[in-house]
């Protein structure tokens, strides 16, 4: 029955077989769980169904013990569970099957219930909008930010923000939590730790780069090394680098005759970016996006590495953006 329920809800076949290698389990856990090895969408996990009811703290502790003892990701199989317990398990990214109610498998991006189905997400990197949400949340120290509030701040639809929250859950990024029927985004106290946690899934905001014969006359913000030099004492390169958002790139009318030839010193370099965050006076790309825009070779330069540390310390970690109401200190940022 359990196999049929999971397959019916996921619309995919799974393989279940008894897990008999219990010699490494603590004595207290032997016989307390019905253990099955489950293969789902290429993932091999341990489906653990307790033989008796346990309180939430015990379940969380024993889920960790089972993972440490077996080396497999554990999915708790629960037939009697309340909504508070469900919300805590989701908040802590503990996978579960709540029989005839809900399935939560964050490692493959699935949160389903018996009445509605959301297609599993397959993603390794964030969309630009989701990335903008995370960085803005980090700068402004968001707490319990709802889908509606996030949509209002960024000037996009609630549907778009809901999809972004889905992305975060699919990638097991632990800053979206569920209360009752709502989802909330909160930044931890240690924002540096958050930066290190999300950094592997963040993208280079630069989509394309253009070397132009002449310096652009429009009021573009600085990008790359030029932006880093703006924030620090790093000596600026002779050729300025500017950031232009994808939706605005057409206004520059970049045609072949404007692109500099190989070996020719360009008047400027234009970075086409997937998003922009208004930061401080708006004259340069925001610091975290600056870091993401730099190449590995550039970051290996000791001068640039020191400048990055200086920029982040002064303009990100030591700032209390929450007190200013927005990154720029004026009006909320807008996606468009």
Residue numbers in the chain where pLDDT is lower than 70: 109-125, 217, 254-257, 260-261, 320-336
Indicate the burial class of 11 (C-beta count within 10 angstroms; 0-12, 13-18, 19 or more): exposed
Alpha-carbon distance values, 292 to 85, 136, 281 (Å): 38, 15, 20
Domain ranges for the chain, please list them.
2-105, 128-201, 206-324
Task: Note the pLDDT of residue 53.
Answer: 79
The yes or no reply on domain 128-201 and CATH 1.10.10.10 is yes
Distance CA 131, CA 122 (A): 16
List the one residue out of 25, 6, 24 whose CA is nearest residue 14. Answer: 6
Residue position matching structure tokens 């001068």:
303
CA torsion, ordered 301, 307, 313, 315, to nearest 10 deg: -130
Inter-axis angle of helices 128-140 and 147-154, nearest 10:
100
Task: Note the pLDDT of residue 124.
Answer: 54
pTM, two decimal places:
0.60
Indicate the burial class of 196 (C-beta count within 10 angstroms; 0-12, 13-18, 19 or more): exposed
Task: Note the pLDDT of residue 320.
Answer: 56
In sequence order, the β-bridge partners of residue 15 are 39
Task: Note the pLDDT of residue 204.
Answer: 92
Is the C-alpha dihedral spanning 3, 20, 25, 106 positive or negative? negative
């Amino acid at each position: 029955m359990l196999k049929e329920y999971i397959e019916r809800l996921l619309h995919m076949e799974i393989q279940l077989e008894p897990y008999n290698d219990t010699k490494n389990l603590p004595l207290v856990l032997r016989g307390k769980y019905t253990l099955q090895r489950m293969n789902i969408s290429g993932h091999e996990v341990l489906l653990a169904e307790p033989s008796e009811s346990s309180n939430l703290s015990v379940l969380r502790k024993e889920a960790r013990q089972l993972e440490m003892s077996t080396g497999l990701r554990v999915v708790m199989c629960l037939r009697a569970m309340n909504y508070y317990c469900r919300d805590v398990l989701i908040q802590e990214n503990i996978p579960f099957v709540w029989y005839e109610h809900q399935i939560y498998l964050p490692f493959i991006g699935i949160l389903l219930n018996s009445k509605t189905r959301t297609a599993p997400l397959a993603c390794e990197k964030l969309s630009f909008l989701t990335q903008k949400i995370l960085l803005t949340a980090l700068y402004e120290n968001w707490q319990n930010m709802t889908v509606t509030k996030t949509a209002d701040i960024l000037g996009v639809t609630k549907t778009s923000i809901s999809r972004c929250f889905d992305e975060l859950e699919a990638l097991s990024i632990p800053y979206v939590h569920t209360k009752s029927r709502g989802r909330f985004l909160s930044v931890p106290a240690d924002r540096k730790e958050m930066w290190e946690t999300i950094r592997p899934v963040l993208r280079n905001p630069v989509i394309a780069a253009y070397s132009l014969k002449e310096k652009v006359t429009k009021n573009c913000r600085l990008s790359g090394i030029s932006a880093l030099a703006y924030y620090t004492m790093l000596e600026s390169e002779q050729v300025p680098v500017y950031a232009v958002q994808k939706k605005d790139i057409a206004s520059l009318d970049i045609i072949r005759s404007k692109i500099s030839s190989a070996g020719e010193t360009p008047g400027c370099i234009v970075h086409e970016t997937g998003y922009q965050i208004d930061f401080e006076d708006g004259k340069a790309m925001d610091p975290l996006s600056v870091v993401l825009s730099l190449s590995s070779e550039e970051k290996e330069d000791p001068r640039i590495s020191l400048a990055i540390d200086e920029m982040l310390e002064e303009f990100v970690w030591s700032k209390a953006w929450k007190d200013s109401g927005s990154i720029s200190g004026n009006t909320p940022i807008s996606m468009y």
